[in-house]
Each structure stands twice: as C-alpha cells, then as structure tokens.
Amino acid sequence: MSFLFIGSTGDRAGHSLLTWAIAQRLLEKGLKVGFIKPFGTHPIFTNGTWADHDAVLFKEVLKLQEPLDRICPYLVSEDSWRQKGAEEILRAIKSLTGELSEGKDILIIMGSKHIFFDDTSWPFPDVPLITELNADFVLVSRYRETSKSLYSFLSITSMLKDRIKGIILNRVPPEKLEEIRNDMIPSLSEKGIPITDVVPEDPLLSFTSLREMGSVLEGEFLCGKESLDQSVGRMTVGSTDLTDDLRLFKRVNNKIILLEPFPPDEGIHEPSARRKIAGIILTGGRKPAEPILQVAKKAQIPLLLTKEDTFSALERLEQSPPRLSPHDEGKVRHFTDLMDRNAALDSLLESIRVAPG
C-alpha cells in the first residue's frame, strides 16, 4: 500500500486546495484513491451530527463510501479521545489507514492545521505519524517572509529527510517571485530541498462565492439561485455601483452590495463605474417590497435575505475565510492550471510511490 501525507504550515496555505488538486490528477490517471484526515480541524454540523469540513468535502468529491467518522476519526470538537495515550491513538490510526487503503492504489492522508506541532492540548503531532506510516510527504506553505519560509523548509527537512517529495510555496506576492526564483530556490536546491513549485497570490483562489455567503449568514436567497457559484470580489454598503433599474435599491437602507471580481487581466484598481454587481444582501430580516424583488429578478441579481443587521453581517463575513465546497471545481482547475504551467503537478506525482491496490 502507498501513503501520501499532505501537510501544511497553516494560515490559509491552500491545504485543502492542493489535496483536491492532487487527488483529482491521480483519479485522472486511472488510480484508485482513498482519503483520511485523522484529526479534524474545522468542525461543521451536518445531517444531525458533527463532522470535519474536509471529511465532508472529500467524501463527496472523491465519492467515498466510508462513513464520516472513519474518514476523520478524531474531531477537534470532541474531548473524549484526548484522554487516550499517544500510542493508543497511533495504533488506531495505523489500523484504520490499513483498512481504508484496501483496494486502493494510494491513500491520501491530510495532516492537521500545522505541521509544526505547538499545541499542548493536541496529543499527537503530524511528524511521528508520517514516520510510523512510512508515508511520502508533500508540504504546502503560504509565503510570509523569505527568512521564515527558509526556516520552515530547513526544519521540516531535518525531521523528514527523504520522505519529502515536494514543497509548494503558495500565495507568493508578485513582487517577490523574482527574488524567490533567483535566490531562494537555487539555495535550497543546493541543500537537497525540493521546491516543486512557486504559486503566485491569485485573487481568483481567495474569493468567496454567493453560496458560501448564504451559508455563513444562514440566509435565504429570494431570487438568483442559478448564480450562487458567482465569486464576490468586494463588499460595500454604498450605492454608487447601482445603475439603471437597480437604482431603486437606493431606497433600501439595510443592504450590502456584493461586487464581482475584476477580470485577472484588468487588475484590481479599475474605476468604480466598471464594477459589476454579483448580488445584494438585504439585512435585518425584512423582505423587500414586490417592485424591489422584480427589479432584481429582471436584472438577474441574486438577493440574499439575512436576519443579521448590516454591520454584524459584514463582520461575520470578514471573519469567515472562504472554505472549499464541492461546487468549487473551478478554483481547483485554476490552481491546477497554475501548477501545470511548469508541469509541476505531474512532476510531483512522478516522485510519489504508488502500489497498485
């Protein structure tokens, strides 16, 4: 059996995104892929029970048959398992990974929030688990500062050595790309540290969809449900972007205007007159008058009604970073395209051991 452990340095590094991209490419190659995330990090309530967000996501996108409590056996929202000893937890995980890998060519193991274990309430870090499972390892890291990135890579290399098959440095500011490619990568290569790819910061990967906003605010879409996968680039409580018939919404006091992202080739500093409206949130829980609703329907603008007041809704959205949903295939394709420019994804997979199931 083959195990691929995908770890992260936390802080929205792109952990779920890279895991999905790798799993999808393996499936495209005709391989049978299994998945486990031993320790949950983002609990959600679904179908009457608590589960990990990534477990729910990958159960659907990978069409897994196993129940959620086997895909992610240890939830961060539960305390009972924290009283168990590390050896008992390790034995249970090893047994479960063996069962889940039966009939599979490769089992993807998704690590916890941060590869560098620094939470004393968490009884088992990623690194010993990678070693015990004899797993290949891929790291995704969000760029912060060159010195911090170097320290992270050197540290993880000292701990896992030849198990490291690739490192993805993600969300790199455009102005740092040349420095990283010309200085950091050659320096790390001399030390035998494999930087598989450097992925630039891309706003298309960090936008939130209307669907996700509706979920965060626990709201009701009054119209425009066919456009819920539309990405939102910005939010405003102003009315300057309301044009033509949508000017009628200037009479509505409790609202948030959601703006589409600018096309990538137009930059992010376009004049406000060119901004397109992705949707409108009506706050305060009061349904609009019929003429307002008809204007939105005619313009094909989704209307989201929430009980939250305007500023509470804004704060809640700003504090809820986007998480991947099964509807985010477009983000995964875009991320994959970025890696494919240098054939980085296929190069990474060529270095990973795969034992036919």
pLDDT digits (tens, 9 = 90+) for 157-180: 999 988 999 999 999 998 999 999
Residues 28 and 155 in one domain: yes
Q: Are residues 52 and 190 in the same domain?
A: yes
Distance (Å, whole) CA 111 – CA 236: 37
CA 332, chain centre distance (Å): 9
Do 46 and 82 fall into the same domain? yes
If asked whether residues 200 and 90 sit together in one domain, one would say: yes
> For residue range 4-49, what is the model confidence (pLDDT) as tens digits?
999 999 878 999 999 999 999 999 999 999 999 999 888 888 888 8
The DSSP 8-state label assigned to residue 353 in this structure reads: -
What's the pLDDT tens digit per position in 57-92? 999 999 999 999 999 999 876 777 777 788 888 899
- Cα 170 from Cα 181, distance rounded (Å): 13
- Here the CATH number for the domain that contains residue 190 is 3.40.50.300
Give this prediction's pTM.
Answer: 0.81
Whether 10 is in a domain gets the answer: yes
> Is 356 inside a domain boundary?
no
Structural domain count of the chain: 2
| pLDDT tens by residue, 256-286 | 999 987 654 444 444 444 578 999 999 999 9
Residue 304 is part of a domain; what is its CATH number?
3.40.1390.20
Residue 36 lies in a domain: yes
Q: What is the pLDDT of residue 262?
A: 67
**Contact between residue 268 and residue 298 where contact means Cβ atoms under 8 Å apart:** no
Domain assignment present for residue 355? The answer is no
Residue 336, in any domain of the structure: yes
357 lies in some domain: no
Q: Is residue 73 domain-shared with residue 19, that is, in the same domain?
A: yes
Q: Is the pLDDT of residue 121 over 60?
A: no
Expressed as residue numbers, the domain containing 155 is 3-205+324-350
Cα dihedral 261, 266, 269, 273 sign: negative
Distance CA 56, CA 52 (A): 6
Burial (CB count within 10 angstroms: exposed 0-12, middle 13-18, buried 19+), residue 85: exposed
Q: Is residue 307 located within the same domain as residue 224? A: yes
Beta-ladder partners of 257: 236, 280
Q: What's residue 270's pLDDT?
A: 47
How many other β-carbons are positioned within 10 Å of the β-carbon of residue 214?
Answer: 20
Burial of residue 10 (CB within 10 Å: 0-12, 13-18, 19+) is middle
In this structure, the answer to whether residues 41 and 146 fall within a common structural domain is yes
Q: Are residues 108 and 43 in the same domain?
A: yes
Residues 199 and 247 in one domain: no
Same domain, residue pair 225 and 100: no
Burial track 66-84 (b if 16+ CB lie within 10 A, e otherwise): eebeebbbbbbeeeeeeee
Q: How does residue 234 score in pLDDT terms, banded at 50, 70 and 90?
A: confident
Q: Are residues 139 and 105 in the same domain?
A: yes
Any domain includes 263: yes
Angle separating helix axes 86-100 and 126-133, nearest 10 degrees: 50
- CB-based contacts of 353: which residues, under 8 Å, 6+ apart? 2, 136
200 lies in the same domain as 233 = no
